[in-house]
Amino acid sequence: GATADGQLLGLEANGKLEVTNAFPTAENKADFDEFIKEMMQLLDKVNVDNNTVGWYRSAFIGEWITSNTIRVQYEFQNAIPESVVLVYDPHTTTKGNLGLKAYRLSSHFMAFYKKKDWSHINFTRHKIDSGDIFEEIPMKVHNSHLIHAFLYELQEQDGFSCEFDRLDLGGDAPFEANLKIMSDSIDELIQDQGKFKSSQKGVKRVRDQIQHQLSNVQQQMANIQQQKAKVEEQLKKVREQKREYEDQTSANNEKSYKDILPTEEKLNKSKEEMEGKEEWLKKSKEELLKKPLPYLPRLDAYLTSHKIGHYSAKVKTMIGENMAKMFEIDALNSEL
């Protein structure tokens, strides 16, 4: 279904982030910037906190771990380092547990994401594991004094007791929904592993081609260096003869001196051509070394793995809570 999202307002004080207000984003995303600007101006007029400290979004049974969530949170966190994303799960909340969590991208992942390189090589270079993407931020929910007063009034009303509602096991639906999402994620990860293996064959093929081209370039550079050494040796001899003829003034020596000049010019031209080709080969070698390999982007796979870990922990928590409720119900029945 559709998700709800918006901006969080508040302030950061004494190392703690206080979220005091929020407003939803505009339905028309094209007017997003103008909408935010107008909202900030209106909040400022009524003396309400208008400092952006993050954003919020809804999620059905925790289905929020996506590349879009990472992109938006990175933009917020890059501009405002202390910003967070509040994830609200209405389905979990209706079952008696407040589904509200605060998350922030880890510092390692922020540095990794900045490179825009999703290859497994870059994940390894930054030592990023699937569990290192998001970090949960401890939080406390504080109600206003009016809400407290309202809750105390409700508590005094007859027939409003809900003590035994806490022991409701909630049925199998939430548990099955979490297991299904986790199972689908596992299938998705297995398919991605198959794609990754196939892509590695393509990477190896391109790497072998680059190595072959590099070998050819290095061989050509070695041949040119040998030829260049021979030309320089010939130039050295020609210049020695030239100096000998310059020291002598006979007519025959003058003729021989003039015969040497074209030879020296030809050798110099040949040397320049070799140096030009050598420079071109050096550039070709640099381009080959910089040529990117067709690595398969692995961000989605790491997100899927992170999602599996998230749902595994959630299922474990649900089992623990239901087991505790069962023991409490059994203890109450034995007392009756």
CA distance to 5, 26, 83, per residue, from 29 (Å): 12, 6, 21
Asked if pLDDT for residue 28 goes beyond 70, the answer is: no
Measured CA to CA, the distance from residue 36 to residue 135 in angstroms comes to 27
Asked if pLDDT for residue 104 goes beyond 90, the answer is: yes
- pTM equals 0.68
pLDDT in tens, 148-183: 888 888 777 766 655 555 566 656 677 787 788 888
Mean pLDDT on 309-332: 78
Greatest Cα pair distance, the chain, in angstroms, is: 136
> DSSP character for 24?
E
Q: How far is CA 217 from the centre of its chain?
A: 36
CB 275 within 8 A of CB 225: no
pLDDT of residue 132: 84
Angle, CA 284 vertex, CA 282 and CA 286 arms, to 5°: 70
| Percent over 90 (pLDDT), the chain | 11
* Residue showing tokens 């009016």: 146
Asked if pLDDT for residue 244 goes beyond 80, the answer is: no
Is pLDDT larger for residue 255 or for residue 50?
50
pLDDT of residue 151: 80
CA distance to 87, 141, 291, per residue, from 19 (Å): 14, 10, 47
pLDDT of residue 87: 93
Measured CA to CA, the distance from residue 311 to residue 72 in angstroms comes to 22
- With a CB cutoff of 8 Å and minimum separation 6, the contacts of 50 are 9, 40, 43, 44
DSSP 3-state assignment of 291?
A: coil
Asked if pLDDT for residue 273 goes beyond 90, the answer is: no
Query: In the chain, which residue ranges form alpha helices assigned H by DSSP?
Result: 32-45, 67-79, 90-94, 107-114, 120-125, 145-156, 173-247, 251-290, 299-335
Measured CA to CA, the distance from residue 64 to residue 92 in angstroms comes to 14
Of 4-8, 66-70, 166-170, 316-320, the poorest mean pLDDT is in 166-170
Q: Which two three-digit tokens encode residue 56?
A: 């919020």
pLDDT of residue 51: 84
Mean pLDDT across the chain? 81
Mean pLDDT on 207-211: 88
pLDDT in tens, 69-97: 999 999 999 998 999 999 998 877 777 67
Asked if pLDDT for residue 221 goes beyond 90, the answer is: no
pLDDT of residue 265: 79
Mean pLDDT on 97-121: 88
Measured CA to CA, the distance from residue 81 to residue 91 in angstroms comes to 30
Measured CA to CA, the distance from residue 156 to residue 137 in angstroms comes to 35
pLDDT band at 105 (very low <50, low <70, confident <90, very high): very high
Mean pLDDT on 277-304: 85
